[in-house]
A and B are shown apart, each in its own frame.
Chain A
């Protein structure tokens, strides 16, 4: 007999930070696009051949981007506060609560993450230990925070390059800071796509834990606990 039980997974603060970040980052990316349009000079060019231009006309048309620079700037410089404050609160919480132990990669993570990738690509059957976050997740969720911090720093370096000249210097100059800011944004989009695919593959129990905070597990040999206990037939996960 296995018993249906729950395991607390995501603390409330982390769930809220996660869900607040999504729309805020969405608006940041959208308004950033309105700004970028005014001088859309980036492309992927190798050996003199331009493979892709950021962005094709159809893309601009679809998102109604052209001629909205002032509007884009005003949205960007308003929402930046929510992005920054939410990010700072999240990091503070993970430090104070000790959650960082689950999130930071450790010395096994890089090897294990490779095994996770092989497993996800159906090349390898066995999975390394999963814990709350597996090694690939640890690396991904730590990287995204580092990236967020990077967006903050490069953004500030572009926003006030004279007053925060030292930040601009760290970024390798004004021009470089803009490129970095742009690449980080592409990184978010890439992260988002992989994240969504993984969430869909992981299924409902996983998704619910980011809303409700707990996972449902089926365990053997639970210590007797007062209160009603629902028992269900064995169900292998």
Chain B
């Protein structure tokens, strides 16, 4: 059967905009699944919707209660069941399209005059289809009409419809206009899906990516935890388009040398960076005053280094034998600058965790932060691997410091573009793994990320957050996410968080908890025309062949088994 011959599967028997549509199924229930993309044809209008529920019904409950197949001949029982037992689909209407009358009909000219544009566009549902309007499965043309033509540049296939395998695209240009999120419980394929989308964005080449790679899995090739198959990294596939940076001097990523290393200069650590770590370092309210005094005393670039050199608790004896703070001690400095000595010593003690970090040095060989920004401005992509630095403090400090500078740079570029006709900034997507560490309710206020999620869209910077516990992410950030892609979630709070702010979330709730792990994801939010569960694209050889062409895909080293298989052995 070709797509164009899609048979009708039912007809509308009731419902409304608030309570979804009820469609009486005329084919066996096994032919339709929750999440199916269906089309309701009603006059000139076509309604696009999602099956959110299948409900068994009977014209009289007694028909359902009694097993009439045991009482009547099979054929008779079948006829009886066909007339008295039924399945109703609950269809959530999402979009409608005015197709206009048949071009051969006399009304067509009038309609065409009122709709001069060549192509009608689907719009949010404003009305309901008529009773008995026929319903059918969406065919490839319908899917392309709503989710975009896969052949059009900028449309990137992320998966396919579950029943018929029609390709589902996201528009990458739209995707990066607002912050996005990829969610799913552990083992549901988040990392693979992220790789797929990042590959699409890199290949599309309209956006720069800064990937905070906590687990060192996006740069070089990795190994799948479940299948032990080799998983190509972005650096392996895109070569010089992707710059891999390791945190700390001489750091290695999976035993290999990155393109460069990130070492922070002590002069780059600002009081603001420290205050953002208030929660992690358990700083007191007096810390801000002390930090102000440090900057006033040593200067904005030297305070960190000078404070580090001060000795905590060092004492000397005066002429009378009384112990007083040594001139190179924290207390001495505090007394000289009108700061509470205990507060200063407490701050010094807590900053000890920063003073000891191996990737902060007084004079690093290069200004790595600036180089990262320049790399991103040039249109390249940066994967920052944290190597062995896996603590929350490392993650918070580095991401904050870097992001704060990026924010300043992109704000300046945007203002120059708007005020001085400078070149338009290249859109930047900051990819944050384990996002709940940076964007939880306590941390969100300390980091730049919540500001980026809320305000930086205007400055061409958006976030792509990846997490397994969306409920731990600050509501204000979640509400700003345009596109949400979610794999299976079991926790009610996580499901609620992913669906927050969306209409029809009650209808989608069950769908999310019944997704097939590692196979299916739910696309929803501003970035997609309508919510839809899809079978996600496989991150395999075929993916690379389709994205880059056969030659590039062949860069991968083939295993002996693969080669032997291809030779027919």
Question: Are A and B part of the same complex?
Answer: no
Measuring CB to CB, which residues of chain A are less than 8 angstroms from any residue of chain B? none
Measuring CB to CB, which residues of chain B are less than 8 angstroms from any residue of chain A? none
